[in-house]
């Protein structure tokens, strides 16, 4: 299928375009923390020449326990997003929506609406999100195969919105464990033509693995991110925090500022035109040997 591109802010993302990054804290812990995290990521991505989308959730409605923090809420979240846009030159923002009614309220404040993995098959939510005209990022449910995403994309497109991205975040493998099948990345791109994003941090999640919270193995996030870039994706999605062990959610999955210098530099090298040209020449010569 023809590969599509999606415009976010002042740039486009696509499976054949330079790598982009979606990153930020799991939830808005406070106005100032969100501003500081966005500022740090803007600095890093500007240094590396990477297109950047700030990510944060105003409400984590899908937490494991009713007693764990969920975020600052809808009104404070929208005020924070507005301030971040003013401070950082209208930086593109992506956030989750969990209820149909949230879509129209949140849309004026962000550039991309994200449908969480557990809600990816909710038809009414997909339609409500699509009708905002914003870019829609559908996270693939841990219970779905890559080829199942075609019907989910069709729900959004048939509702009049052709701006759809898909995010891989691992597949359930028994209890409290996720694995990533990297064959799914090119398969989703081939089947739908949509930009495919790889979520490197949630892919190392251990859902409910700590009883009232989810566990994770964040030391493997760089490994999976590099693998995804090598396979080929439109963007990498990473949740980050300046002090991961003190984060209010997904503590075991967060990555630090140092992570970005390491992984994004490696990723840029993998996507460098000279490298791509070298890989193409190698493929041509290998084909002649077969």
pLDDT in tens, 157-209: 999 999 999 999 999 998 888 999 999 999 999 999 999 999 999 898 877 54
Backbone angles phi, psi at 146, to 5 degrees: -55, -40
The residues near 285 (Cβ < 8 Å, ≥ 6 apart) are none
Which pLDDT score, from 0 to 100, does residue 271 have? 52
8 A C-beta contact, residue 206 and residue 220: no
CA-to-CA distance for 210 and 252, rounded, in angstroms? 10
pLDDT interval class at 263 (50, 70, 90): low
User: Could you give the CA distance from residue 2 to residue 147 in angstroms, rounded to a whole number?
Assistant: 16
34-60 pLDDT, tens digit per residue, is 999 999 889 888 887 889 999 999 998
Q: Is the dihedral of CA 67, 68, 74, 77 positive or negative?
A: positive
Angle (CA) 32-38-41 rounded to 5° is 140
Pair 111, 93: CB distance under 8 Å: yes
pLDDT-based confidence at 32, cuts 50/70/90?
Answer: very high
Residue by residue, DSSP assigns 235-261 as EEEEEB-SSGGG-SS-TTT-B-HHHHH
Q: Which of 91-100, 174-183, 252-261 has the lowest mean pLDDT?
A: 252-261
Distance CA 143, CA 250 (A): 20
How far from the centroid of its chain's Cα atoms is residue 127's Cα? 20
Q: Distance between CA atoms of 106 and 75, rounded to whole angstroms?
A: 9
Mean pLDDT of the chain: 85
Global pTM reads 0.85
Q: What is the spatial distance between Cα 136 and Cα 95, in angstroms, rounded to a whole number? A: 10
With CA atoms as reference, report the closest residue to 20 among 80, 90, 92, 84.
92
Query: According to the 3-state scheme, what is the secondary structure of 45-73?
Result: HHHHCCEEEEECECCCCCCCCCCCCCCCC
* Banded pLDDT at 218 (limits 50, 70, 90): confident
**3-state DSSP call for residue 29?**
coil
Burial of 155 (0-12, 13-18, 19+ CB in 10 A): buried
- pLDDT, residue 212, reads 47
* Domain 13-289 fold: TIM Barrel (3.20.20)
| Alpha-helical regions (H) of the chain | 31-48, 74-87, 100-106, 123-130, 149-157, 184-192, 221-231, 257-271, 273-289
Residue 118: predicted pLDDT:
95
Q: So what's the pLDDT on residue 260? A: 53
3-state secondary structure of 122: coil
Q: 43 — phi, psi (to 5°)?
A: -65, -45
In eight-state DSSP terms, residue 209 is T
Q: What is the DSSP letter of 4?
A: P
pLDDT at 286 over 90: no
């Amino acid at each position: 299928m023809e590969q599509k591109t999606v415009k976010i802010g002042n740039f486009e993302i696509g499976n054949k375009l330079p790598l982009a990054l979606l990153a930020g804290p799991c939830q808005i812990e406070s106005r100032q923390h969100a501003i500081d995290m966005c500022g740090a990521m803007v600095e890093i991505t500007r240094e590396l020449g990477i297109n950047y989308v700030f990510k944060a959730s105003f409400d984590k409605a899908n937490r494991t326990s009713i007693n764990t923090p969920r975020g600052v809420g809808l009104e404070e979240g929208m005020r924070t997003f507005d301030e971040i846009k003013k401070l950082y030159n209208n930086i593109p923002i992506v956030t989750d929506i969990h209820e149909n009614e949230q879509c129209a309220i949140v849309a004026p404040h962000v550039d991309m609406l994200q449908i969480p993995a557990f809600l990816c098959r909710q038809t009414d939510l997909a339609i409500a999100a699509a009708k905002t005209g914003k870019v829609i990022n559908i996270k693939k449910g841990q219970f779905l195969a890559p080829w199942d995403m075609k019907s989910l994309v069709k729900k959004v497109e048939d509702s009049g919105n052709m701006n759809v991205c898909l995010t891989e975040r691992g597949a359930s493998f028994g209890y409290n464990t996720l694995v990533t099948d990297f064959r799914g990345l090119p398969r989703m791109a081939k089947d739908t033509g949509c930009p495919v994003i790889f979520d490197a941090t949630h892919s190392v999640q251990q859902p409910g693995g700590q009883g009232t919270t989810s566990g994770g193995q964040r030391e493997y996030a760089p490994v999976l991110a590099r693998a995804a870039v090598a396979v080929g994706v439109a963007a990498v999605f990473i949740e980050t925090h300046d002090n991961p062990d003190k984060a209010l959610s997904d503590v075991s999955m967060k990555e630090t500022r140092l992570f970005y210098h390491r992984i994004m530099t490696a990723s840029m090298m993998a996507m460098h035109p000279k490298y791509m040209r070298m890989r193409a020449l190698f493929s041509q010569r290998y084909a002649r040997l077969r």
